Amino acid sequence: MSLPAVSSFSFFQESDSFVEYASFASGKVFLADGILERLKSEGQAKIQPQHEVSDNAMPAPSYHLDANKLAPKTKEVWIAETGPLAERAIALQKWEGFVLEVGESTFRARLKNLSTPGYDEEVEFPFDDLMSEDVPLVERGAPFYWSIGRRFGKTGQMTRYSFIRFKRLPRWEKQDLSIPSEVQQIREALDW
Amino acid sequence: MASTPGVSEIEVSFFGPGYGESILVHVGDGQWIVVDSCVEPGEKYPAPLRYLDEIGVDPREAVKLVVVSHWHDDHIRGMSQVVEACDNADVVFSHAIKCKEFLDLLVAYKDKAESIDYGAEEYQAIVQMLYARTGAQKKTPVWANADRALWGKSLSDGDQCSVYALSPSDQAITDAHLSFAKLLPVPGAPVLALTPDINQNETSIVLHLEIGDFCVLLGSDLEHHASIHHGWNAIIASKAKLYSKSSLFKIPHHGSSNGHCPQVWSNLLQANPVCVLSPFANGSVRLPTKGDVARILQHTSQAFSTCRHISRKLKRDRTVERTIEQFGYPVTLANPGFGRVTFRIGNSLPTVDLAGDACPLSEVLCRA
């Protein structure tokens, strides 16, 4: 049996964003090896084999898909049937930061790059870019997260986003501050 | 390409990534001292260990002394790895932290997910490591205070090597102990990412090394104050020992004017000494300034920096770059470069080798 004509096909590379691609495509998407298994394991889509290998196709079980080779050839194809589109976001870069200096309308912060470890960065943010509920939390040493990424709306429209969120901090409790026996043991062992 | 120093060659290597510093000293006979630690940007391995690895030196056998001058983030990054790798070495701490209140602080902040304070993390790891050691590696820390001999060794060429601490002063130690008690967290207060800030520079360890006739003064971050009980004035005022003048000087506190004490140049240093500093960038503070460079160059024509003030961008996803530009956020690398200044002296004339982003101090790009 021959593969049905592919009227539209978007080739995409395997990346962290493939799941989102699958979801905002028009209900069905062709999947390359590896992506299939990951979608299955994440339960992201209902996946069923839709076509058998044709009599003149490449030997099974190879079903690699390639944008340049797919259309004229026939081979086993997997189709993921996805649910309705939903708003979603993909973080492309994440930082963990803490406030170094607080100015009148801005604050400077040290950033620990969580996407490319080993590189510390600094940034200056205006208070205007914070959620109003976060502004009172800004003080020296206050930790926060910052992420940049892509957001997809229900129509599949992509926009870029920057999101700064200060951590809600726990409070010191009495048991944190009681003199633990650990301190005494260290003092005795190390003549501290 | 770095090479192993000769048996009787003295080497002092200074490492700096623009925010951080570390010093390695070969005193002779294949014996080394590590002072502070920093990590090259993008790396996890501390710079002094990486260098020893490059020149084929086993830190476990060769390093005899590890000095933790103070617990500022820019002096301690990777120090727990250094202590772990150099497990036959004595570990030197400032006497200022030899108190129960400091340990209370460390233990209180231990395992707090909110804490991203490298200084606290490194100290916690080091203390735990020293505590857990057994057998020959089980040693108590060596406590440094003014005019204390920390380590000594007779070398095969007949020279004597002695390492002295010139600070912290008695007054700085007392002040620090009182401060720690006040810094303990209060129930109900938020757990912040940073441990409380105190003036740690006052408690940092200045080292004086005598190796035969050659002397080195490593100024750490010690500052200069009017009081003769604090900072450099306390060292100048000390009558405990007459130290020979040094011909190699690690300029204190990244060249800042608050680390400049005129009497250091006249009383503790030879004329026109070789000087090295590591720059510093944190928030709006950039050291040294143009004024700092000009002041230092009045005292010596042989000054070097481990790193330039340079601007480099981290390569990242184009969408991320566009978004940063779109929002107008000035994101800069805290450690845009990395360099090494290596001073050697043996049987021939002394040499200075600059590697990476290291440069003569006159070429450091500075803010006014």
Q: What is the pLDDT of residues A78-117, one digit of tens each?
A: 766 666 678 889 999 999 999 989 999 999 999 998 988 8
B 24-83 residues with CB < 8 A to A:
39, 41-44
pLDDT number for residue A23: 35
Any A CB within 8 A of B158 CB = no
pLDDT score at A8 = 33
C-alpha R_g of chain A = 26
Kindly give the parts of chain B with pLDDT less than 70: 111-117, 193-199, 366-368
What's the confidence (pLDDT) of residue A174?
81
With beta carbons less than 8 A apart as the criterion, state whether B103 and A192 touch. yes
Residues of B numbered 188-227 whose beta carbons fall under 8 angstroms of chain A's beta carbons: which are they?
Answer: 188-194, 197
Q: Which residue of A has its CA nearest to B327?
A: A162
pLDDT at A11: 33
User: φ, ψ for residue B227 (rounded to 5)?
Assistant: -65, 140
User: Which position has the higher pLDDT, A130 or A4?
Assistant: A130
Cis peptide before B168 (omega within 30 of 0): yes
pLDDT in tens, A137-147: 999 888 999 99
The DSSP output letter for B266 is I
* A187/B131 Cβ within 8 A: no
Q: How many residues does chain A have?
A: 192
A118·B103 Cβ contact <8 A: no
Of all residues in chain B, the one with the smallest CA distance to A109 is B283
State the Cα–Cα distance between residues A47 and A28, nearest whole angstrom: 10
Which residue of A142, A176, A192 is in closest CB contact with B192? A142
Residue B51 CB-half CA count within 13 A: 35
Q: How far is A7 from chain B, CA to nearest CA, in Å?
A: 30
**CA-CA distance, A122 to A135, in Å (whole number)?**
19
Q: Are B275 and B252 in contact (CB under 8 A)?
A: no
Please, what's the largest Cα pairwise distance for chain A? 82
Which pLDDT belongs to residue B121? 84
Contact B282 A96 (CB under 8 A): no
Chain B 321-360, CB below 8 Å of chain A: which residues?
A: 322-324, 326-327, 329-335
Q: Do B190 and A169 touch (CB under 8 A)?
A: yes
B164: β partners: B149, B208
A191 compared with A26, residue with greater pLDDT: A191
Chain A hits for B105, CB-CB cut-off 8 Å, are none
DSSP code string of A67-90: TTTTTT-----EEEE--S---EEE
CA distance linking residue A159 with residue A64, whole number of Å? 31
The pLDDT of residue B211: 96
pLDDT at B107: 83
> Which residues in chain B have their CB less than 8 angstroms from residue A161's CB?
323
Of B41, B98, B283, the CB nearest to A118: B41
Whether residues A176 and B108 touch (CB distance < 8 A) is answered with yes
Cβ contacts of residue B64 below 8 Å, gap of 6+?
Answer: B31, B32, B33, B88, B89, B90, B151, B153
Q: Do B331 and A121 touch (CB under 8 A)?
A: yes
